[in-house]
Structure 1
Amino acid sequence: MALPRLLVVTDRHGAARPLSATVGEAVAGGARFVWLRDRDLDRAARRELARELLDLVRPVGGRLVIGGDADLAAATGAQGVHVPGSAGIDGIRVARERLGSAALIGFSAHSVAEIAAAEAAGASYATLSPIFPTPSKPGYGPALGLEALRAASARRLPVFALGGIGADDAAACREAGAAGLAVMGGVMRGSDPRSAVARFVAALT
């Protein structure tokens, strides 16, 4: 099944309102693919939040992936897990063994070589970041740019452009071959997540 072209990445610290409300507005705006990041929560709180977000995405046929916790994805019935780059490529194989062949297994890549390795390891999709300069990715060096995105997207693995992405960048990222956009600040930090998502969805259509 094809993935939605917009992946909304959560950030409750940056959100202007409670995260469930923010994601609810994003879903109302057309979001159908959500990555629960927020890894600093304790396990019980994160489990409860995952269930709240699943209640939002399921009625519209959306998908939720849990950042870095395959066990929590299995326990809550989420559609998959997003493996952080710090877990390494082996994290993809471990998640696949835990969740099975039907699960969505994403990976956070920061180079074209990591995209190739993620594809070989059996990932369902990957994010590539940072494509453009962004304050949320200060530890990953300079922006990779559209040429790196083009090279990564030449592979069969769906690649989502992440980092400093605005709705105005959708056409260029898609022209470079990206399967879609992964967006955090552009949705989480605004006062109107519904309208923000609607702009991204329109730009990607």
Structure 2
Amino acid sequence: MNPANNISHNPYQLYLVTDEHQDNAILAKVIEQAVSGGVTMVQIREKHGDIRAFIARAALAKKILHGTGVPLIINDRLDVALAVNADGLHLGQSDMPAPMARNLLGPDKILGLTVESPAQLATAQALPLDYLGISTVFASATKTDTRHIWHLSGLRDAVSQSRLPLVAIGGIQSDNIAVVAACGCAGIALVSAICHAVNPRQAAAALLAQIQSSATS
């Protein structure tokens, strides 16, 4: 069974993506507080560090998340995901093909893929994936290689067209998270709104409350 299905609530709902520029001590603090505040999934994202440093950060995150029921996802690197026995892997369009990653991960891990255009969204529907990341909803300083801005209208269209759960990412903060959640996506991924908050626990709790309120309104 997919680890995501072992969680009683929606595992994608409040999806924390870590900031690679924060050191391990801050990383640990952010993850601990964010999970305490209601984060439902954590992705370790490292674009510029060496592989040993990536493994060390992933192992630290796994230790913190042990027993919480919050899945640990590794960005891009299958080898790191396997090394720490993470709950899943998130791929980009230039990473290992999803069928190959699924074959190596096995059927019981979570596998996600970022889609950056309507054409990629359509193609991804036939892939052995558990969810899709919709990037980028709004322009974002943390994602500098943006190829397509979905905006709210594009996100709503994507939700109506996808058989897979969608996680919105890019430029989402406390002042616009409610309108994004109202589009019907399964989850919202955040970096700076939690990682750079003075109190990540309070920030996560407030963001989750907005998501849940929008979903029920």
Conservation of the 8 A alpha-carbon contact between 1:174 and 1:180: yes
Normalised by the length of structure 1, the TM-score is 0.90
| Equivalent position of 1:192 in the other structure | 199
Which residue among 26, 32, 40 is the counterpart of 2:34? 26
Counterpart-to-counterpart distance in 2, 1:114 and 1:176 = 20
**Segment of structure 1 superposing worse, 159-168 or 12-21:** 12-21
Query: What CA deviation, in whole Å up to 9, does each residue of 1:46-94 have, x standing for no partner?
Result: 112111101122221110111111122122111010001222xx62112
Task: Tell me which protein shows more helix as a share of its residues.
Answer: 1
Listed as ranges, the matches of 1:50-69 within 5 Å are 50-69=58-77
Contact 2:12–2:167 (Cα < 8 Å) also in 1: no
* Counterparts of 2:144 and 2:83, CA distance in 1: 33
Unaligned runs of 5+ in 2: 213-217
Structure 1 residue runs of 5 or longer lacking an equivalent are none
Task: Report the more deviating stretch, 141-150 or 41-50.
Answer: 141-150
Deviation at 1:200, TM superposition (A): 1.4
Is the Cα contact below 8 Å between 2:15 and 2:41 reproduced in 1?
A: yes
Structure 2 partner of 1:95: 101
> Which stretch shows the higher mean deviation, 159-168 or 137-146?
137-146
**Quick one: which amino acid aligns to residue 62 of structure 2?**
L
Whole-angstrom CA distance in 2 between matches of 1:189 and 1:16: 14
Task: Report sequence identity in percent.
Answer: 30
Pick one of 40, 43, 51 that aligns with 1:35.
43
TM superposition score normalised by structure 2 = 0.86
Cα pair 1:15 1:190 within 8 Å, conserved: no
- Residue among 87, 94, 102 paired with 1:86: 94
Change in Cα spacing, 1:112 to 1:53, as seen in structure 2 (3 Å) is same
Give the 3-state SS of the residue equivalent to 1:35 in structure 2.
strand
Tell me how far apart the structure 2 counterparts of residues 116 and 57 of structure 1 sit (CA, whole Å). 33
SS of alignment partner, residue 18 of structure 1: helix
Residues 91 and 112, structure 2, Cα contact 8 Å, conserved in 1: yes
Q: Report runs of 4+ in structure 1 exceeding 4 Å deviation.
A: 14-17
* Offset at residue 135 of structure 1 (A): 1.7
Q: CA RMSD in A?
A: 1.9
Aligned length: 203
Q: Does the 8 Å contact 1:54/1:78 carry over to 2? A: yes
Alpha-carbon contact 2:99-2:127 (below 8 Å) kept: yes
**1:139 deviation in Å?**
2.7
- The equivalent of 1:105 in structure 2 is 111
Q: Is the 8 A contact 2:137 2:155 kept in 1?
A: yes
Q: What does the per-residue CA deviation read over 1:84-119, in whole Å, with 9 as the maximum and x for residues that have no partner?
A: 1222xx621121011011111111111122122222
- Residue in structure 2 matched with residue 148 of structure 1 by the alignment: 154
